[in-house]
Amino acid sequence: MRPAILNPLFAEVTDLKGVGPRLGKLFQKLCGSHVVDVLWHLPVDIIDRRFRPKVAEAPEGRIATLTVTVEQHQKPHNPRQPYRVRCRDATGVLFLVFFHVKGDWLERQLPIGATRIVSGKVERFNNQTQMTHPDHILDPAGLDAMRLIEPVYRLTAGLTLRIVQKAIEAALARAPQLIEWCDAELVRRRAWPTWREAIAAAHAPTRPEDLPPAHPARERLAYDELLANQLTITLLRARARKRAGRAISAAGELCARVERALPFTLTGAQRRALGEIAADMAQPSRMNRLLQGDVGSGKTVVALLAMCNVVEAGGQAALMAPTEILARQHYATLTLLAKESGIEIALLTGREKGRARTEFLEHLAAGAVQIAVGTHALFQDDVAFKDLALAVIDEQHRFGVEQRLQLAAKGKAVDILVMTATPIPRTLEMTAYGDLDSSRLDEKPAGRAKTTTSAVPVERIDEVIAAIRRALDKRAKIYWICPLIEDSADSDLQAAEARFSELFQTFGNRVGLVHGRMKGPERDRTMAEFANGGVDLLVATTVIEVGVDVTDATIMVIEHAERFGLAQLHQLRGRIGRGDQPSACLLLYATPLSETARQRLSILRETDDGFRIAEEDLRLRGAGEVLGTRQSGFEQFRLADLAAHADLIPVAREEARLALARDAELESPRGAALRTLLYLFERDAAVRYLRAG
Ligand code: ADP
Ligand code: MG
């Protein structure tokens, strides 16, 4: 149960003075429906009222605080006219302007002859200096009560700044003193305030320097949130590990035999990943591992060798690909690499029908098929394994967590290996993927030639076409990638078709076209022509993004490169430079380039390291966008900024690990404080994993 001390924070916002049901709805829209949500709504700016000029010197458009004497009330003759109050100081006249005035409150607030301090935005109108609806009107004696510097908050229609400020003040008044949950040494070293002080300070910035994420109060709050996140993940992970799995016991003979027959030696990274995977599989608990590596880093081989262990132990393995092209390619690769081993590998996609399908199903159910390669077709109800022990899922983003579980349900305690060619930035990896361990292939196989990347404005397309002609004369194979148009596969297609017919006029039937709307066989035929000769210039939409392997393609033109994301450009580029020939990638862009587009293109020219590109992508886009926060189960942080607070994540991770190592059920006094933290950040579910939860 949530500790009672937190109850005031988990009351409805409407509990706060001045917030009724109508405002309550608006607050819910703005930040959430509980008092604590209001607290997490941190200021984005400040209003500085310290500027106190004379009336004649007050510049138009600036916030100023003026001391004036009230001279005259000019009441409106009809309700559409403003109510004006003439005031002055020694240097000039200031009109205070009000609309829709009801009753006599202005006469009470601004009696003739009185001195008043008014604060608001200075305006000039018809050569007169005025202030419309001043933010503050005070008796000079009350000046101390006015905040000369006010926090500014993000608002929503219907909520004024004043209302939000008042609600936050009321919420702050309820914020309790909480027992410190952070490591004392860390708090001392970073000179962090307590939680109570931090939340108060974060809402009381006095200088622009108090607003950025690096301010100690903000940093402390971000750390609290990250620590709650890391505790949750660590608990989840521990629980997942306890779930029964099965120990795959293989001596590794089959694996060694297949490895010996490979036409290359494994990279150090491949060997390391394989070791991590084999160790997981040997454990009696379930494997949930992510294998990350750039296109061409050799994930497929690692998967194959892992599957060999399962086969040797008498079980079955499945390899799932997101598209048919990829499934076929995996099937071809695996068959080739495992040729000498005698392993039975079979393929099932939507295109295997009738007899082929029935046969596949029979062999799978009988255990004759040892490795099943396929697409979503493997999920179908009538697909039954004899004994599925390992599921390898390629390209994480195309399959949801649901489907991962669906496939796992086709066996008993199935080990899961997810492969992705979109490296996930460390920070995201640590804050998401709670249930996955991770292996990284951060080393390219030897013997790969370099890819040079250059950015060319589209105005110079003629030069590009001339260069393509020269390359085609030398028998190069070239990809031409057509622009991505958001949410519109149709216009994608039109653009690709238009480009195709233009290039076709120039180069004739050496040009081919593939796109996502094509029927499987037709697309495969064109791809095969590109791989084997006939088609040398392949115009494509992003269907070729994932996995397609034509090792002797050496040139790629990406049209409207500015419209692609950084990670996607990197993925596309990974289609070339796969063989021993030097390759070239031309990023054609439309001018003018936005600043981030310019940065994206320049990062791509600079580096070919997918892990570094992933980090830069995060920096340029913000965490939410990187993988589409919602559908991929990534969580959003309210206080932590994953780019700005990245350095805090490993610290929080380590602290969570240590705290749980010392006190697995969070039962000590420190443990109790950490439980409070979990509740504060609404990780009630995590607390339930604890014995005394
Ligand atoms: P990924 O799946 O990560 O994109 P693949 O496993 O398809 O990469 O490997 C890409 C290519 O590199 C394949 O042709 C594969 O045979 C080859 N390859 C894999 N590992 C090595 C290695 N250690 N040395 C040389 N070539 C390798
Ligand atoms: Mg692959």
Q: Is the dihedral of CA 452, 455, 458, 463 positive or negative?
A: negative
Q: 156 and 29 in contact (C-beta within 8 Å)?
A: yes
Q: Is 270 in the pocket of ligand 1 (CB under 6 A)?
A: yes
Residue 101 has pLDDT above 80, yes or no: yes
Among all bound ligands, the one having the nearest atom to the CA of 574 is: 1
Q: Is 303 in the pocket of ligand 1 (CB under 6 A)?
A: no
Read off the DSSP letter of residue 593: P
Q: Which of 78-82, 140-144, 235-239 has the lowest mean pLDDT?
A: 235-239
Ligand 2 center to residue 163 CA distance, Å?
55
Beta bridge partners of 131: 96
pLDDT digits (tens, 9 = 90+) for 333-356: 999 998 888 999 999 999 888 999
Report whether residue 292 contacts ligand 1, using a CB cutoff of 6 Å.
no
Task: Provide CATH 3.40.50.300 ranges for the chain.
Answer: 253-441, 451-627
- Considering only the top CATH level, what class is 50-146? mainly beta
Average pLDDT over residues 505-523: 87
Domain spanning 451-627: which superfamily?
Answer: P-loop containing nucleotide triphosphate hydrolases (3.40.50.300)
Give me ligand 1 centre to Cα 266, in Å: 9
Across the range 666-689, mean pLDDT stands at 90
Residue 299 Cβ inside 6 Å of ligand 1? The answer reads yes
Ligand showing the shortest atom-to-Cα distance for residue 299? 1
Look at 282 and 239; give whichever has higher pLDDT: 282
The number of the ligand 1 atom at minimal distance from the alpha carbon of 295 is 4
Nearest residue (by CA) to ligand 1, atom 20, is 298
Report pLDDT digits (tens) over 295-314. 788 999 999 999 999 999 99
Task: Calculate the dihedral angle through the C-alpha atoms of 318, 319, 325, 331, rounding to the nearest 10 degrees.
Answer: -80
CA distances to 65, 112, 123 from 72, in Å: 20, 6, 19
Cβ of 296 closer than 6 Å to ligand 1, yes or no, is: yes
CA of 13 relative to ligand 2 center, distance in Å: 51
Cα 300 to ligand 1 centroid, rounded to whole Å: 7
**pLDDT > 80? residue 240:** no
Helix (H, G, I), strand (E, B) or coil at 660: helix
State what percent of residues in the chain have pLDDT above 90. Answer: 61
Locus of tokens 């990943």? 273
536: nearest Cα among 636, 468, 442: 468
Does position 547 have pLDDT exceeding 50, yes or no?
Answer: no
pLDDT, one tens digit per residue, over 190-207 is: 999 999 999 999 999 999
> What is the Å distance from ligand 2's center to 483 Cα?
24
Q: Whose CA is nearest to atom 25 of ligand 1?
A: 445
Q: Coil, strand or helix: which one is 548?
A: coil
Nearest CA to ligand 1 atom 17: 298
Q: CATH 2.40.50.140 occupies which residues in the chain? A: 50-146
- If you take atom 27 of ligand 1, which residue's CA is the nearest one? 445
Strand 288-293 with 316-320, pairing? unpaired
For residue 582, report the distance from its CA to the centre of ligand 1, in Å.
Answer: 17
Q: Ligand 1: does its nearest atom lie under 6 Å from the Cβ of 577?
A: no
- Nearest residue (by CA) to ligand 1, atom 23, is 266
Q: What is the pTM of this model?
A: 0.67
CA of 2 from ligand 1 middle (Å) equals: 52
Q: Determine contact, residues 398/252, Cβ cutoff 8 Å.
A: no
Summarize pLDDT for 462-483 with one digit per residue, the tens.
Answer: 999 999 999 999 999 999 998 7
Q: How far apart are alpha carbons 415 and 317 in whole angstroms?
A: 9
pLDDT score of 629 more than 50: no
User: Number of H helices and number of E strands within the chain?
Assistant: 24, 22
> Ligand 1 atom closest to Cα of 297?
3
CATH 3.40.50.300 at 253-441, yes or no: yes
Strand partners, 128: 125
**CB-ligand 1 contact for 404 (6 Å cutoff):** no
Q: What is the pLDDT of residues 592-612, one digit of tens each?
A: 988 888 999 999 999 988 889
